[in-house]
A = this chain, B = another copy of it.
Amino acid sequence: MPTNHNRPHAPRVGVWIQGALGDIATTMMVGALAIRQGLNSTVGMVTRIPPMDALDLASLDQLVFGGIDIKPSSLRESALAVHRSSRTFSHDTLQGVLPGLEAIEADILSDRDFSWRLRAPHDNAMPLADVVARMREHIRAFRARHALDHVVAVNLVSAEPRAPESDALQRLDAFTAAIAADRKDLITSSMCGTHAAFLEGCSYINFTPNAGAGFPAMQELAERERLPYYGNDGKTGETLVKTVLAPMFAWRNLQVMSWEGVNMLGNNDGATLHDPDNRVNKIHNKESVLKEILGYNPHAGVDINYVPSLGDWKTAWDLIHFRGFLDVPMTMQFTWQGCDSILAAPLVLDMVRLSEFAARHGEHGAMRHLSGFFKNPIGVNEMAMHLQFDMLTQYARRHLRQAGKKEIGGSVA
């Protein structure tokens, strides 16, 4: 992925991350820097395979990283911690990217006031209006400092409790009023981030199971500002396999009686999801895919267990008990041993590139062609992975036809 110095007016693209010091964000920045320096391959990036690789996407060289977090840490510390605990990227990669990471630190604002507990709203003194204002200010400064052509906001914070139903989720004016009234019992931290992002003209990707832009009030704002957005809940492991495998049972008219899944993980995400409040959204997203693909509801359980020693290495075991001809019961099991951040980070880079591309081409609203990246894709009922992937390739082909390009893999980064 050599640098593309020749492109005239190559746009500078900001990536403004909520949760900038988390495992996925850290891994994404380490990866982008490592690829730029030729230390690692681009394996894992969907925008590097045909026909997506022929689109005129921003190269990794054009991306500028920044964002906010609530942890009083640094990107350097985060990178060292990920390296130590998860044994993912090599020591050579780490050494190679440290200077680059340090250059990003100035664009990361860490503020404990960006967080509060939904069920106990008064543990944070800073009014919501101030929270949103600080976030907007940070985005504006980030854009100005780097002369950015466009900023993509990305939500990578930990799982939050589900906010209660309210008018604030249904209508933009009610949402704005709830901000003004400092209703921390109705509004989560990541909603403030989405709000700030749209008000500042950012396109938006929500990789978390949190509300993101997945509710009417926020979509009203996105439409008003004519911005593209998508989410929710990145599909990286067990659910990815599930949405690839479940169609097989449908195609062969094999009746799934039970599909039980167990997820073991040991990172911050695991610790957060250990709290039943926080995993409501996640489990809902994981469970609902089968019904749509199979056309009926098998007995399906999804457990998420916090196993600290695993670190970022998620181990999932699924048991599928199904009936075949003559009603004979049979069994399939799979074990998935993947590193969450490693699976997630390249997808975020993919979607940053595709979001900027969409914005540059004047597209706005839900980017349904990104449905295959998410457990709970906004506005898409189709859950089978091959059909979701098809939406992405058709999108790419349509743009290539319009640009008069042949579908050959071009050099992009």
Residues on A lying within 8 angstroms of B by beta carbon are 27, 30-31, 34, 40-46, 48-49, 87-91, 93, 240-241, 244-245, 247-248, 250-255, 257-258, 260, 262, 264, 299, 301, 303, 305, 307-310, 315, 317, 319, 321, 323-339, 342-343, 345-346, 372, 384-386, 389
B328 and A252 form a contact (CB under 8 A): no
Q: How far is the CB of A293 from chain B (nearest CB, A)?
A: 12
Q: Which residues of B contact A248 (CB under 8 A)?
A: 240-241, 244, 385
In the assembled complex, the Cα of A91 lies from the Cα of B303 at a distance in Å of 35
- The count of identical subunits is 4
17 A-B pairs within 8 Å (CB atoms) are namely A40-B327, A43-B255, A43-B327, A45-B325, A46-B251, A89-B326, A258-B307, A260-B264, A260-B305, A260-B307, A317-B333, A326-B342, A332-B334, A332-B336, A332-B337, A332-B338, A333-B334
Name the 3 nearest CB pairs between A and B, nearest first: A44-B325, A257-B309, A91-B91
Additional pairs, 20, CB under 8 Å, beyond known A27-B325, A258-B310, A330-B343? A31-B326, A40-B325, A40-B326, A43-B325, A44-B252, A89-B328, A93-B326, A240-B252, A244-B245, A245-B245, A251-B389, A252-B343, A262-B262, A299-B308, A307-B321, A315-B331, A317-B317, A331-B338, A333-B334, A334-B334
Q: Which residues of B contact A43 (CB under 8 A)?
A: 253-255, 323-325, 327
A339 and B328 form a contact (CB under 8 A): yes
In the assembled complex, the Cα of A334 lies from the Cα of B251 at a distance in Å of 19
Q: How far is the CB of A260 from chain B (nearest CB, A)?
A: 6
In the assembled complex, the Cα of A211 lies from the Cα of B404 at a distance in Å of 46
Q: Which residues of B contact A384 (CB under 8 A)?
A: 386
Q: Which residues of B contact A30 (CB under 8 A)?
A: 326
In the assembled complex, the Cα of A90 lies from the Cα of B325 at a distance in Å of 12
Q: Which residues of B contact A34 (CB under 8 A)?
A: 326
Q: How far is the CB of A311 from chain B (nearest CB, A)?
A: 9
Q: How far is the CB of A284 from chain B (nearest CB, A)?
A: 18
In the assembled complex, the Cα of A48 lies from the Cα of B299 at a distance in Å of 23
